[in-house]
Amino acid sequence: MNKICKEYMGEIKTLFPIKKKAEKAYLRKLTADVEDYCEEANVTTKQELYDNYGMPYEVVSNYFSTVDNDHLVKLLRNARLIRIATIVLLMLATIATTMYVSFLLHRHNVLESNRIVIEETIIEDYGSIEEDTYTEGFFSDEFH
């Protein structure tokens, strides 16, 4: 399958809102058909595929017009519920993670404030200190 055909099929696949078993089978059949057409007709532009199969949104629209509406509504509703459940779970996980990190930070701060710090002060005795007295312009070590 050449690059143009892959791009065309990629455009179609991105437009499918739901890809259940029936949709996957349809896409496999369409992919095989497009591959055969690309090899036989030596397709060089997307316009050739658009002319033969239609625009990607038209292909998807044609598929869903043949599907039972009740089945389609059920699939869309289930997809919506799954999307909502995923969002709720992600939000709960975010909240739980935030609370856990907050707890760890608080615990760290409490441990840090209660940390026992041992400080050793060494007092050395250098003997007594004598005061120098000033007498008549001279220093004297005598006490008066």
Parse the chain into domains and list their residue ranges: 1-67, 68-118
In degrees rounded to 5, what are phi and psi of residue 54?
105, 170
What six digits make up the tokens of 7? Answer: 């791009």
Angle between helices 56-66 and 3-15 (to 10 degrees): 50
Q: Quick: pLDDT tens for 29-58.
A: 999 999 999 888 888 889 999 999 999 999
In degrees rounded to 5, what are phi and psi of residue 44?
-120, -15
Contact 25, 69 (CB under 8 A): no
Query: What was the pLDDT predicted at 102?
Result: 97
Whether the pLDDT of residue 2 is over 80: the answer is yes
Query: What was the pLDDT predicted at 71?
Result: 81
List, as own/partner pairs, every contact residues 49-54 make where C-beta atoms lie below 8 angstroms and the sequence separation is at least 24, other chains included: 49/4, 49/5, 49/8, 53/8
